[in-house]
């Protein structure tokens, strides 16, 4: 987080009005190469083979981010990364994003500009050529970012989570557990004496310089490995947004198989969320592409979704309804 930049200073969204705010935001966003970009009622985006994938995700202040711990750029980056990762998990290349922001009236415009900068930085780093092609602004008591992402399949069939076959290799690409370790440190060291998220405590504790905290704020999903997996013949794939164990359970149930882990992973790597890596299955004779590495094998469906050393692994992870009670929001 840039200590020299105060996004909370300057005119507010209520003072400038929608048109002026839109102008200041759109000038900072990546446009990509749509057939028709922002400015009309809809954008027009090419789908070369007549098909595309689409996904949507929200980030809400409280359960998904805290201003005490994240800068506006962090929030924009994370909102982009989480949606780009979902597109990649289908084997598609991200082609466009649509963003809706709902902000309290007293929000400084610089905060929205910072979010736009975060989107630009994330797209440039993770999915060059993708653009922000439209969106909407509204007001709300709770700051909310909603993103819809589109992806180009490149003439390939989408990779579903339901296609794993007995004998397939189970592989992951990306990091496991770093974002969860970063969040744990923020909850430990980035709080005041009442346990509320606190910027001063975060700085004083040194958490700002922790690379795991940085990964919590700005995940780096392996976007290019999604299309690579599709080309390499991946039979099933999904984004590891909620934790390896819970997402492996989703893939196992969708494919009606059991996944057997062959590697020793700690509890944070198994159950921590928000790394946004990719979990995929490949034919046994396939060469694993990109950053994918083998972690297990697909077995016939048994009583458990996920096994390790013959014992069931609880398929638990991040659940916003179960894991967040509104405290410190």
From the list 270, 268, 177, 244, the residue with the least C-alpha distance to 216 is 177
23 marked ligand binding residue: no
192 marked ligand binding residue: no
241 marked ligand binding residue: yes
138 marked ligand binding residue: no
Whether the CB-CB separation of 240 and 174 falls below 8 Å is answered with yes
136 marked ligand binding residue: yes
318 marked ligand binding residue: yes
The secondary structure of residue 185, as a DSSP letter, is H
Q: Which helix (H) or strand (E) holds 109?
A: helix 109-126
247 marked ligand binding residue: no
Query: CA Rg, the chain, in Å?
Result: 20
242 marked ligand binding residue: yes
CA distance 184 to 272: 10
User: What does the longest C-alpha to C-alpha distance in the chain come to?
Assistant: 62
Pull the structure tokens for residue 256. 């009606």
64 marked ligand binding residue: yes
Query: SS3 of 52, please?
Result: strand
Annotated binding residues for Mg(2+): 41, 55-57, 86, 136, 239, 242
**Binding residue positions for substrate:** 64, 274, 318
Q: Which residues define the annotated binding site for ATP?
A: 135-136, 161, 241
Annotated binding-site residues read 41, 55-57, 64, 86, 135-136, 161, 239, 241-242, 274, 318
């Amino acid at each position: 987080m840039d200590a020299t930049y105060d996004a909370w200073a300057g005119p507010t969204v209520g003072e400038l009005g929608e048109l002026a705010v839109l102008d200041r935001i759109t000038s900072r966003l990546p446009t990509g190469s749509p057939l028709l970009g922002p400015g009309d009622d809809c954008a027009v985006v090419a789908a070369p083979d007549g098909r595309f994938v689409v996904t949507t995700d929200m980030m809400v202040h409280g359960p998904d981010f805290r201003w005490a711990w994240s800068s506006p750029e962090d929030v924009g980056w994370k909102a982009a990364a989480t949606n780009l990762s979902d597109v990649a998990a289908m084997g598609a290349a991200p082609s466009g994003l649509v963003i809706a922001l709902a902000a309290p009236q007293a929000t400084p415009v610089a905060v929205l500009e910072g979010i736009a900068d975060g989107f630009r930085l994330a797209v440039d780093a993770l999915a060059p050529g993708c653009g922000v092609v439209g969106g909407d602004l509204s007001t709300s008591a709770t700051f909310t970012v909603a993103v819809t992402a589109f992806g180009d399949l490149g003439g390939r069939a989408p990779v579903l989570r339901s296609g794993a076959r007995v004998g397939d290799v189970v592989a992951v690409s990306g990091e496991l557990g770093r974002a969860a370790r970063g969040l744990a440190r923020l909850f430990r060291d980035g709080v005041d004496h009442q346990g509320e998220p606190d910027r001063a405590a975060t700085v004083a504790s040194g958490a700002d310089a922790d690379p795991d905290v940085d990964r919590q704020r700005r995940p780096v999903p392996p976007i290019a490995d999604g299309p690579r997996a599709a080309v390499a013949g991946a039979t099933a794939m999904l984004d590891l947004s909620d934790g390896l164990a819970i997402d492996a359970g989703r893939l196992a149930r969708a494919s009606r198989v059991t996944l057997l882990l062959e590697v020793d992973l700690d509890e944070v790597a198994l159950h921590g969320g928000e790394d946004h890596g990719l979990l995929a299955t490949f034919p046994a004779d396939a060469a694993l592409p990109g950053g994918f590495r083998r972690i297990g094998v697909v077995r016939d469906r048994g009583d458990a979704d996920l096994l390790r050393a013959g014992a069931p692994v609880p398929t638990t992870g991040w659940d916003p309804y179960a894991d967040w009670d509104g405290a410190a929001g």
